Amino acid sequence: MSRTRLAGRTVVVTGAAQGQGAAEVTAAALEGATVVATDVLDEAGEKLAASLRADGLDVTYRHLDVSSEEDWADLAAGLDVVHGLVNNAGIPMRARLGDVQLADWNRAFAVNTTGALLGIQALTPLMPAGSSIVNVGSVAGLTAHHAVAYTTSKWALRGLSKVAALELAPRGIRTNVIHPGYIETPLMASANPVFVQAHLSLTPQGRAGTVDEVAPLVVYLLSDEASYVNGAEITVDGGYAAHGGVKAITNALDAS
Our answer to whether residue 150 is catalytic in this structure is yes
**CB neighbour list of residue 32: distance below 8 Å, 6 or more residues apart:** 2, 3, 4, 5, 6, 7, 8, 9
With vertex at residue 153, the alpha carbon angle to CA 148 and CA 159, rounded to the nearest 5 degrees, is 130
Dihedral angle over CA of 166, 168, 170, 175, nearest 10: -70
CB-CB contact of 125 with 166 (8 Å) = no
CB-CB contact of 239 with 205 (8 Å) = yes
CA distance 199 to 112: 21
Q: How is residue 174 annotated by DSSP?
A: E
CA distance 131 to 22: 21
Catalytic option among 61, 150, 182, 220: 150
What string of DSSP letters covers 190-222?
TS-HHHHHHHHHT-TT-S-B-GGGTHHHHHHHH
The catalytic residues are 150
